[in-house]
Amino acid sequence: MRIVVASGKGGTGKTTIATSLALSLVVNGEVHYVDCDVEAPNGHIFLKPQITHQSNAVIRIPVINKDACSLCGRCVEVCQFHALAKIGKMIMTFPQLCHGCGSCTVNCPESAIEELANPIGVIESGVTAHGLNFSQGRLNISEPMSTPVIRQLKKSITTKDESIVVLDAPPGASCSVVETLRGVDFVLLVAEPTPFGVHDLKQMIGIVTEMGIPAGVIINREKAMFMPLKDLCTEVHIPILMNIPFNRRIAAGLAEGLTLIEINPDYSQRLQDVYRQISSIIASIKE
């Protein structure tokens, strides 16, 4: 079972919920927490894992063999990202624009292109003191593209059928979030009960609807029911699975690096209940 915790608006509480959800489910069996916010991973601050494995995330960039190159310019033509240019007597590459699609390599009539694995990030895995399997990706500073790191991070997770994987999504509603969502069974949308929060939630609802992924909402930092949020969820038939009140003690605990369930152990049971609701929603869809 693969569950993504996403939000649209940043700072709503994705990591707060994803880390504690994962910890609460360790009693059930094998659980993995995967931090897909590769530009600014922060799950490790709360989970304090022991990292045992590290590998490079790479993009395969073209290297042109000058002796074999006939300067026909076909590679420049087929590259839709303009990562290649024909300049005088050579083909120049722009590695930061390259998406690693391999089009140039395949289309070169002289087979003059070799692919070099260019490291753009790091994938790390290990385990926490509570026996939670932990993985994260980290995009190297100055690299512009996070999606290849997220893709390779997800591929690196080996699970059994019964395993539960909790993926902590990046903020926003762009390519990196879509990449995180690919192939998952359910998405928990952490919503902030404010106009800004509702606006960004709508973006996420659009995306998950298009991708056909069932969703549920968790409202975080709630002072009173915010009607536009409630109405939105009703309108799009997305259930509200849990409400977390605005609580200064929770905020203070998080600031010290404590997980939600360390601050208030009641949440462990509540999050297990959320998981049960998710399982039954998925089971009823299958019928």
Binding stretches for another protein (CB under 8 A): 76, 81-88, 90, 92, 94, 96-97
To the nearest whole angstrom, how small is the minimum distance from the Cβ of residue 92 to another protein?
6
To the nearest whole angstrom, how small is the minimum distance from the Cβ of residue 148 to another protein?
15
Q: Which region, left, alpha or beta, applies to residue 48 given φ > 0 means left and ψ of -120 to 50 means alpha?
A: left
Q: How many other CB atoms sit within 10 Å of the CB of residue 182?
A: 14
The helix (run of H) or strand (run of E) holding residue 110 is: none
Return the sign of the alpha-carbon dihedral for residues 175, 205, 7, 155.
negative
What does the DSSP assignment read for 61-93? EEEE-TTT-----HHHHH-TT--EEEETTEEEE
Residue 133 three-state SS: strand
Q: Cβ closer to another protein: 88 or 212? A: 88
37, 225 Cβ separation under 8 angstroms? no
Residue type, 113: I
42, 168 Cβ separation under 8 angstroms? no
To the nearest whole angstrom, how small is the minimum distance from the Cβ of residue 97 to another protein?
5
To the nearest whole angstrom, how small is the minimum distance from the Cβ of residue 77 to another protein?
10
Q: Cβ closer to another protein: 94 or 196? A: 94
Q: Cβ closer to another protein: 86 or 230? A: 86
Q: Cβ closer to another protein: 94 or 246? A: 94
To the nearest whole angstrom, how small is the minimum distance from the Cβ of residue 80 to another protein?
8
Q: Cβ closer to another protein: 60 or 86? A: 86
Residue 263 three-state SS: helix
Q: How many other CB atoms sit within 10 Å of the CB of residue 187?
A: 28
To the nearest whole angstrom, how small is the minimum distance from the Cβ of residue 73 to another protein?
9
Q: Cβ closer to another protein: 100 or 197? A: 100
To the nearest whole angstrom, how small is the minimum distance from the Cβ of residue 56 to another protein?
23
Q: Cβ closer to another protein: 95 or 228? A: 95
Q: Cβ closer to another protein: 90 or 252? A: 90
Q: Which of 229, 228, 235 is nearest to 217 (CA)?
A: 229
Q: Are strands 113-127 and 50-64 parallel, antiparallel or unpaired?
A: antiparallel
To the nearest whole angstrom, how small is the minimum distance from the Cβ of residue 98 to another protein?
10
> For residues 148, 149, 155 and 160, what is the CA-based torsion angle, rounded to 10 degrees?
-140
